[in-house]
Structure 1
Amino acid sequence: MQHHISAGFLSGMASSVLLQPLDLLKTRSQQNESANLVQAFKSLSSVKEAWRGTLPSVIRTSCGAGLYFGTLNAFRTYRANRSSSAGTFRTSALPKLGVWDNILTGASARALVGFIMMPITVVKVRYESSLYNYSSVFSAFKDIVNSPLGWKGLFAGYGATLSRDAPYAGLYMFLYDLSKSFVQTEHFSPPVANAIAAVTASVLATTATAPFDTVKTRVQVANTHLSYVDAWKQVTSTGWRSLFNGLNLRLFRKAISAGISWCIYEEIIRYNMKRSQQLN
């Protein structure tokens, strides 16, 4: 399991540093009713500011990815050992599961890890937002804790986050396995095949869960308690299309992130398994 955690950690770190500007622009394009992508670009005072929030992003993504991949592997291995329909892939060392096993293991792993990493996620979103002029990540953390919500503020939007992440992870695992089945040909090397499958699964799952991402951001940037229902009403008050604010950025970021992280993760696992077999 330690190989899956370390592989996830490294893949998450690589993707978070490279793609932080897209994450920041997405947050700012969703933060209030009048926000949009053009205003998000204009809010940047320098190129350096595009990487604002990189530290909490790296901590959240690398640690979160390590925990997620480790937990996901444990869940998938458990189901594979108890399922007669489980199989293997030519390009992957991971087990091939059925539709419901993929959905349930992906959603369960994401729900658990999402709760553990929630405080870092909230600090990251608030620090990225241009609604607050925080001088440091610690000042963002301190302000949240000292707000009327207190320590509960660090878990603001968990319900909204769960409504996005659990369905996304479940759909992603199902679509990822399905996509890998279509690229199991001699025309693709394992890294390319896995990257194609990851990008395809990410695009479809991201589009399906986009409204929940917008509502989640609105809840987390609010300085006072904002319920999930009220946030939904606030977003849709300017039209249902507002639920898809930032989708283009999120699609681009998630697709590239999935391609990078899953390709790196799969290759590290394949390498470690081959090395273990050689040593044995």
Structure 2
Amino acid sequence: MRTRFAPSPNGSLHVGHAYAAVVAHDLARARGGEFLLRVEDIDGTRSRPELAEEHLADLAWLGLAWDGEVVRQSARLASYAAAGERLKTLGLLYPCRCTRAEIAAAATAQGPDGAIYPGTCRHREVDPAGDLGGAAWRLDVAKAAALAGPLAWVDERAGPQVATPEVFGDVVLLRKEAPASYHLAATLDDATDGVTLVTRGADLFAASHIHRLLQALLDLPVPVWHHHGLLVEPDGRKLAKRRGSPSLADRRHAGEDGASLAQALRAHRFPAGISLSQSLNEAS
């Protein structure tokens, strides 16, 4: 059994991240497995090397030890490009220049990631390297799903699931400002790292429908998923540093005991005003 914690160094970690790391770490240790650490550092200028180092210090402060070397997505750009070329060869990707504002104005439905792309560029000629700059590359989800056929996946909390990637519409896999989207990079990385249990928050439950489709298209192994609950604020929103949730680094520098915090999280004793939401998006 092998699982992972995969923070992005575009902001400091907070107690919600600590809970996610503790869950993944403890699942691995309870099952005699491995707990990996992956730094998802391909988010353009938002990724900051100093925050990656801060994250490592935070995890050590919590008393969490990972197995093997720290993996960094920035060292895997070639694998993302190769997967993109393979999907292009299959005729499953198309370039798109639509802005978020244009998509929001034209969309007629909402999906897990917000407005569902209405397919504006799917059947028109778009020069991916034209004068207006680079284009994003979208997955023709209907065509891809027809090629892959019926797909299933399993979540340890929600049980067996039938993949319904069409609820996302044509998602972006190769971004204009980054080498790959979360959907493509995370799916490829989990396969490369031999992850057998994908441990992550319930807010990403629906993403597994797209990830299961990508696994089928790229002949990747299929793990089991474990979507744990989220720590939320009194208004029900998940914690966010931009809304004032104290960072782990702040707590660490203030002299708090990280191991004690980790033990409290294990016992579901959370800081004042914070609770655990166990709901799973679209779980059946």
Scaled by the length of structure 2, the TM-score of the pair is: 0.28
Higher RCO structure, 1 or 2 (CA under 8 Å, sep 6+)? 1
Scaled by the length of structure 1, the TM-score of the pair is: 0.28
Between Structure 1 and Structure 2, the one with more helix by share is 1
